[in-house]
Amino acid sequence: MKLLMFYLSLGIILASHGMRTPVAGAATLKQPIQVIAHRGASISYPENTRASTLAAVSSGATVIEADVRTTRDGQLVVLHDATLDRTTTGSGPVGGKTLAEIREYDAGTWFDARFSDQRVLTLSEVYAICRGKMDVLLDLKETGEEYDRKVAAQVRSGKDSERTIIGVRSVAQARRFRRLLPEARQLGLVGNPDEIAAFAKVGVSMIRLWPRWLTDVSVIDKVRKAGCKLHLNGKLGTAAEVAGLLHYRPNSLSSDDPAQLVKTLKEAGHIIQLPRHVDSGKQSALPRDRN
């Protein structure tokens, strides 16, 4: 019944947009989907914290996305914003404080007082929590060769290259990480659809497209013709949201609510892509596939 309701919802939504409804059971609906937990399970927990990371691990998602910044003393921490103000009790630029200083700040009360014990995580802590359970997507929030080398050194030190996806924003950065971390996959965070072919030529295997670009069918064609996989951003993971995204046959979806996205995809008959290096005994019982 749930599967039937999903396809009825899908048909209504696509018909309202003048789109052709995919056939239930078709190959396009059975392909493994990579599920990315955006800043962890950030819909229910303070983003990029231990709480949101542990919830993401429990969700059955393939990958956790982590935003990477540098402290004044050169430590890599997981914070989205350039300043501490929004998500901690501290203030000012992340790069203006040492790790020890940042650790003193509460990173959870802004979301809910129940999370007052949460602190900013280091990148190495995120890897430690997820090791054997999830892959890690690094959203690099700073630029420059020194920063890229520091990130690569951290990944290599934990022998985590193969379970890492690097979000690259330029062809030059993609080339650099191909040298620094040849085993890592790359997600092209292109700023313009015209850049897709250039990113693909330097080995980027997946391209993220913004929703506003999806009205132009030729943009999807550019991704496919370049031989790349397609990533799309979601938020809630509901049947209505996912139905619209599945029209574009994505290989990867992200969500602030990864557990809901996994549930919705499972009800639609999809297999959830398995992380590269995983302890199967600690994973959910969802059907999976390696890629």
* Count of Cβ atoms closer than 10 Å to residue 94 Cβ: 22
With residue 55 as reference, give the H or E element that holds it.
helix 50-59
Q: Which amino acid is at 1?
A: M
The reply to whether 38 belongs to the active site is yes
Distance CA 96, CA 115 (A): 25
Measuring CA to CA, which residue among 103, 95, 104 is closest to residue 73? 95
The reply to whether 80 belongs to the active site is yes
Query: Interhelix angle for 258-267 vs 50-59, to 10°?
Result: 10
From the list 17, 80, 231, 277, the catalytic residue is 80
From the list 17, 38, 247, 270, the catalytic residue is 38
Longest dimension (CA), the chain: 56
Structure token pair of residue 41: 């399970």
Measuring CA to CA, which residue among 70, 76, 32, 17 is closest to residue 247? 17
Catalytic positions:
38, 80
